[in-house]
């Protein structure tokens, strides 16, 4: 991002009231607004979403909120990396105009009782192993969209099922916001960037770089007409060989609806989805299978 694009006036607000005041002033001036929701511990994947938003809207608001509602009690809410100062500097350099950093009580005040459930597309994959997860995500994203009232909101394909859940929710609830999906940003060995990669030991980090290669190979086999069941069997064996401690899921689903494509050769675009454990760290990734392009 050229230095000229850096907004030296980047604001930081912590209440919905302040957020609304800033966004309303932009709207009154005829400016469009993009929202990039995050949980912080930012990396280039997040910043690519800010860049995408900047290319589509006049002002970008990023939010940083580690949402307790999407973590189960045994998960890493307490240890999730938090580094506000570094995040603010990265956002400033990426050309973000405003950062919303609400406290938990601002998002979930006393007496809060509502939750959003997006039924079908939340099922399976991450929805099976983290049953609380998409309810928590949909509820907090619905709130952030209502709070910031952006024209567009940008989400990464890294969390592909989440992107589809949010698209569905926005459509079903008639929210006048365009949901933009952005490609996965990867490290040089192909590992999908993630705030949780910071948990990996040096040895685990080397193994982690194999995940994308295994699912890319599965996608390639499927694209060349191979069957789903064989591709999954190949992938499971390759992940075990690579040294992953466990496979949470390894699956192939339709690219638009996450429907089950059966066990044979694919007849339409799909995606390979993986969630694996490396020690205590859970990694997810996905890879497109372009059948229509064949």
Determine if 101 is a binding residue for ligand AMP (CB under 6 A). no
192 binds ligand AMP, rule: CB under 6 A: yes
Contact in structure between 46 and 36 (CB atoms under 8 Å): yes
Residue 82: CB minimum distance to ligand AMP, A:
11
Q: Which is nearer to ligand AMP, 122 or 194 (by Cβ)?
A: 194
- Give the neighbor-by-neighbor strand order of the sheet with 270-278: 246-254, 270-278, 281-289
61 touches ligand AMP by CB under 6 A? no
Give the count of residues interacting with ligand AMP (CB under 6 A).
17
Stretch that binds ligand AMP, among 104-112, 114-122, 139-147, 188-196 (CB under 6 A): 188-196
Among the listed residues 38, 197, 212, 281, the single contact to ligand AMP using CB under 6 A: 38
Q: Does 169 bind ligand AMP (CB under 6 A)?
A: no
74 catalytic residue (yes or no): no
Q: Kindly tell me the number of DSSP H helices and DSSP E strands found in the chain.
A: 10, 9
Residues 6+ apart with CB under 8 A from 107: 65, 67, 140, 143
Task: By CB under 6 A, name the one of 13, 33, 39, 47 that touches ligand AMP.
Answer: 39
Q: Does 286 bind ligand AMP (CB under 6 A)?
A: no
Q: Which of residues 124-163 bind ligand AMP (CB under 6 A)?
A: 155-156, 158-159
C-alpha radius of gyration, the chain, whole number: 19
Q: Beta strand 98-100 with 246-254: parallel, antiparallel or unpaired?
A: unpaired
> Which of the following is catalytic: 43, 46, 74, 132?
46
Report the b/e string of 79-112 with b at 16+ CB within 10 A.
ebbeeeeebbebbbbbbbbbbbbbeeebbbeeee
What count of Cα atoms within 13 Å lies in the side-chain half-sphere of residue 13?
18
Using the rule CB under 6 A, which residue among 99, 107, 165, 185 binds ligand AMP?
185
State how far the Cα of 115 lies from the Cα of 113, in Å rounded to an integer.
7
Nearer to ligand AMP among residue 13 and residue 137 (C-beta): 137
Instruction: Using CB under 6 A, pick the residue from 165, 184, 200, 231 that binds ligand AMP.
Output: 184
Q: Is 102 in the site for ligand AMP (CB under 6 A)?
A: no
State the nearest-atom distance from the C-beta of 62 to ligand AMP, in Å. Answer: 9
To the nearest 10°, report the CA torsion of 55, 57, 59, 60: -70
- Dihedral over alpha carbons 276, 244, 47, 133 (to 10 degrees): 20
In the bound complex, what is the minimum distance in angstroms from residue 237's beta carbon to ligand AMP? 26
Q: What is the set of active-site residues?
A: 46
Chain residues that interact with ligand AMP, rule: CB under 6 A: 38-39, 45-46, 48-49, 155-156, 158-159, 182, 184-185, 192-195
């Amino acid at each position: 991002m050229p230095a000229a694009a850096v907004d030296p006036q980047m604001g930081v607000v912590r209440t919905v009231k302040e957020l609304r005041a800033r966004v309303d002033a932009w709207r009154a001036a005829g400016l469009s607004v993009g929202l990039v929701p995050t949980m912080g511990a930012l990396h280039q994947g997040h910043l690519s979403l800010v860049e995408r938003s900047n290319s589509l809207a006049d002002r970008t608001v990023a939010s940083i909120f580690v949402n307790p509602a999407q973590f189960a009690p045994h998960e890493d809410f307490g240890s999730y990396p938090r580094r506000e100062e570094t995040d603010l500097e990265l956002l400033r350099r990426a050309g973000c105009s405003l950062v919303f950093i609400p406290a938990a009580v601002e998002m979930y005040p006393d007496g809060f009782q509502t939750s959003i459930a997006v039924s079908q597309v939340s099922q399976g994959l991450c929805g099976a192993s983290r049953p609380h997860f998409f309810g928590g995500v949909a509820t907090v994203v619905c709130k952030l969209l209502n709070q910031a009232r952006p024209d567009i909101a940008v989400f990464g394909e890294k969390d592909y099922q989440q992107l589809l859940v949010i698209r569905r929710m926005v459509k079903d609830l008639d929210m006048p916001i365009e949901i933009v999906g952005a490609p996965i940003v990867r490290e040089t060995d192909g590992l999908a960037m993630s705030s949780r990669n910071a948990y990996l030991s040096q040895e685990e980090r080397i193994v982690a770089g194999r995940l994308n290669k295994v699912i890319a190979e599965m996608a390639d086999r499927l694209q060349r007409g191979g069957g789903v069941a064989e591709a999954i069997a190949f992938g499971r064996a390759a992940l075990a060989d690579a040294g992953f401690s466990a496979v949470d899921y390894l699956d192939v689903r339709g690219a638009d609806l996450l429907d089950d494509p059966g066990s044979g050769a694919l007849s339409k675009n799909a995606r390979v989805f993986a969630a694996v454990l490396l020690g205590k760290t859970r990694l997810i990734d996905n890879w497109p299978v372009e059948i229509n392009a064949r």
